[in-house]
Amino acid sequence: MVKDELEEFSKLADQYIITCDHASLAALVESYTKQDFTFSHPLYEAHYLYCLGNCYSKLYETRKTEWYSDDLMKSVIFYRKAIHTLPKANWQEHVNNIHAYDSLRSMIETNLANRLSSQGRALCCIPHYDKAISIDNNPVAIISKANNELFLGNSLYDEGHSEY
């Protein structure tokens, strides 16, 4: 898959997500996951996997299913694959390339943490929020981590310590 094909897939996925066209989104995901792609760069593969994770996240939210939903599990799997596919930034590369690596990594880490939190894995998501925040002070990660911490505090049985 080359950059133009990836951009086309991303635009279609975004369009279906924004317009809440869940049937088309499900069909798009199914058609793309049935194919085997060869990517011209590992960054493109990571971006593709990130987009698939986003699609499955939206399908999970739409169907309002339980935490053990296939869509939720698939989104976590695709986010994890994206993290492991993302190449390490080569500091000799152009600064824009390094920024692209870091930006994508931060978004993947944030979305993965959010999906882990949706599964009730409130402790497992913390390192992913921390990683996203350490990369670029991602405000979505900061707010989501704060909400997760409040959830943990409210989960304590000892009401005297839930304030901390």
| Topology adopted by domain 3-161 | 1.25.40
- Reported as a single tens digit per residue, the pLDDT across 8-45 is 999 999 999 999 999 999 999 999 999 999 998 899 99
Specify the pLDDT at position 69: 80
Contact indicator for 59, 25 with CB cutoff of 8 Å: yes
* CA pair distance 120, 39, nearest whole angstrom: 34
Our separate counts of H helices and E strands in the chain read 7, 0
Q: Cα–Cα–Cα angle for 136, 138, 139, nearest 5°?
A: 145
Specify the pLDDT at position 70: 87
Contact indicator for 128, 109 with CB cutoff of 8 Å: yes
How is residue 121 annotated by DSSP? -
Q: What is the pTM of this model?
A: 0.88
- Reported as a single tens digit per residue, the pLDDT across 106-136 is 999 999 999 999 888 999 999 999 999 999 9
* CA pair distance 61, 58, nearest whole angstrom: 5
